[in-house]
Each structure stands twice: as C-alpha cells, then as structure tokens.
Amino acid sequence: MADQMPQVSAEFGTTPVIEFPTPDAPKGLKVVELFEGNGPMVRRGDTVTVNYHGVVWGGSEPFDSSFNRHQPASFGIGVGQVIKGWDQTVPGHNVGSRLLVSIPPEYGYGSRGIPQAGIGGGDTLVFVIDIISTR
C-alpha cells in the first residue's frame, strides 16, 4: 500500500512537500504512519491539536494548511466535528506522530466537494497530519 501513497519530504513540525507516484489515487481510506510519536495515544472523543497540510490527489497547491497559517488547529476527534476520513484515521496514533492520509470522497466532502476551496466532487484528498497534543 505504501508504494501507492505519495512521498512526503520534510520532518515532523515542518511544512511537507508531497509528490504523487501515479495520477490515480488508491481505492479506499488509507493511512501511513510516517513517524511514530511516543506521546499519549489519541482516543475517540479527545480534543486533538494538529498541524496539517491538505491537497487534492495529484495537486501541488494546498486547499488548506495550518502550516501555512502558522496556527495549529484543535477539535474533537471521532465525534463528527471533522470529515469521516480524519475521525477514522487519527484515533489510535500517538502524540508526536506524522500521518499521511488518503481520503476518498465518501470519507471526505462527497460528490459535491467544496468548489470554493478547489475541491471537486469525487476528489481524493491527501493530508499530512502532525499530532501535537491530545486531551
């Protein structure tokens, strides 16, 4: 599976650079732990603080990036405050981990997408997520 996933350069805490191996995204929801942290494990219902960088599969410009804003984001995880792809992949990983997540439309923004953000209906989303804290 990792060979179908994008390559990510840059270390935890720095803005990632994402390179796509193929024009076609892998099927289904995929997560690769690029770096395993040694902090507490994130559990459903926790409030997590993360830095993230999101691009459409094959794209180069982020549709959203807390790294670019220099402002981490905090929200409840596993409770419907974010897209399903996040709710199902972030819990179970430790603080200090860097994740690479490929999210098909049914776990993201569906067939409508978010055109104003540059996300088309049917787009697969790719996020690099650094887990900063959980409580």
Give me the domains of the chain, ranges plus CATH numbers: 7-134 (3.10.50.40)
- What is the predicted pLDDT for the residue at 2? 58
Through-space distance between the first and last CA atoms of the chain, rounded to whole angstroms: 31
Q: Average pLDDT by consecutive 10-residue portion of the chain (135 residues)?
A: 83 96 95 97 98 97 97 98 98 98 97 95 97 98
pTM: 0.96
